[in-house]
């Protein structure tokens, strides 16, 4: 029912349980999905960040006007209204995703260091934070020249990570934002 994007009340009615039970089950399934990450990514790995609009569903919001039906961020580009979603995929099918607090070298390093093999090659999009984290780990990190519009440079690209983000955004669109406490 999570995959179908049903609301908590729709799921509770379909399963013939109380809404509180449906919420508890939903959170258990989401925690289980977090444990299904690949333990070690090797070979050519691709890393990319995407930014999803933060939602404060059911919370009292201070400091900004409420957004209805998803809405838009208060500023253009990335700001505190966005939650970074970091995905790392290797070409053998392994995948790990993270939601770091900020898009900084320290946070990216903490996420990538445990899952990347020391001999991995990390394809990135030119992010200075990811490049800095790869340098600290001592991992080769080729990046295509994004300023010239080049997204692929031979075997070096992040197209698999981009597909992951496209699918994630398509699935999340019906929820109108991501609620993180």
Same domain? For 105 and 138 the reply is: yes
- Asked if residue 60 has pLDDT above 60, the reply is yes
Number of H helices, E strands in the chain: 5, 5
Quick one: CA dihedral 140, 130, 31, 68, positive or negative?
negative
Q: Retrieve residue 34's tokens.
A: 């977090």
Q: Are 58 and 142 contained in the same domain?
A: yes
pLDDT digit string, tens, across residues 137-155: 998 888 766 666 666 667 7
Residues 10 and 99 in one domain: no
Q: 81 and 169 share a domain?
A: yes
Among 26-30, 58-62, 124-128, whose mean pLDDT is lowest?
58-62
Q: What is the pLDDT of residue 14?
A: 93
CA distance 14 to 60: 30
Mean pLDDT within 33-50: 81
Q: Across-strand partners of 87?
A: 48, 97
Answer whether residue 23 shows pLDDT above 80. yes
What integer pLDDT is reported at residue 161 of this predicted model?
A: 85
Residues 4 and 21 in one domain: yes
Same domain, 70 and 129: yes
Whole-number Å distance between alpha carbons of 9 and 141: 46
Q: What is the pLDDT of residue 29?
A: 82
pLDDT at 26 over 60: yes
CATH number (domain holding residue 77): 3.30.420
71 and 147, same structural domain?
Answer: yes
pTM summary value: 0.69
Domain count, the chain: 2
Is 179 a residue whose pLDDT tops 60?
no
Is residue 181 predicted with pLDDT exceeding 50?
no
Q: At 96, is the secondary structure helix, strand, or coil?
A: strand
Q: Does 38 or 138 have the greater pLDDT score?
A: 138
- Give the integer Cα–Cα distance in Å for 141 and 131: 7
Residue 22 to residues 1, 10, 31, Cα–Cα distance (Å): 10, 9, 14
131 shares a domain with 69: yes
Examine the domain organization and report whether 54 and 133 are in the same domain. Answer: yes
Shortest CA distance to 122 belongs to which of 136, 107, 141, 105? 141
97 and 54 inside one domain? yes
pLDDT of residue 156: 81
- For the residues 13-18, what does the mean pLDDT come to? 93
* pLDDT of 102: 76
Within a 13 Å sphere around the CA of 113, how many CA atoms are in the beta-carbon half? 12
Residue 180 has pLDDT above 60, yes or no: no
Instruction: Determine the Cα–Cα distance for residues 63 and 80; give it in Å rounded to an integer.
Output: 12
Question: What is the domain range of residue 143?
Answer: 39-179
- Is 24 strand, coil or helix? helix
């Amino acid at each position: 029912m999570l995959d179908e994007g049903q609301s908590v009340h729709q799921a509770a009615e379909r399963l013939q349980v109380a809404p509180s039970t449906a919420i508890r089950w939903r959170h258990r399934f989401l925690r289980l999905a977090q444990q299904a990450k690949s333990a070690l990514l090797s070979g050519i790995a691709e890393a990319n960040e995407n930014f999803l609009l933060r939602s404060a569903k059911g919370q009292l919001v201070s400091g900004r006007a409420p957004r209805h039906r998803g809405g838009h961020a208060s500023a253009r580009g990335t700001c505190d209204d966005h939650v970074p979603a970091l995905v790392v995929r290797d070409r053998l099918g392994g995948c790990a995703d993270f939601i770091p607090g900020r898009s900084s070298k320290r946070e990216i390093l903490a996420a990538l260091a445990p899952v990347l093999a020391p001999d991995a090659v990390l394809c990135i999009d030119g992010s200075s934070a990811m490049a800095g984290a790869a340098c600290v780990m001592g991992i080769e990190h080729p990046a295509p020249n994004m300023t010239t519009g080049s997204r692929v440079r031979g075997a070096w690209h992040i197209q698999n990570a981009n597909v992951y983000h496209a699918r994630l955004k398509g699935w999340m669109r019906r929820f109108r934002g991501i609620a993180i406490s």
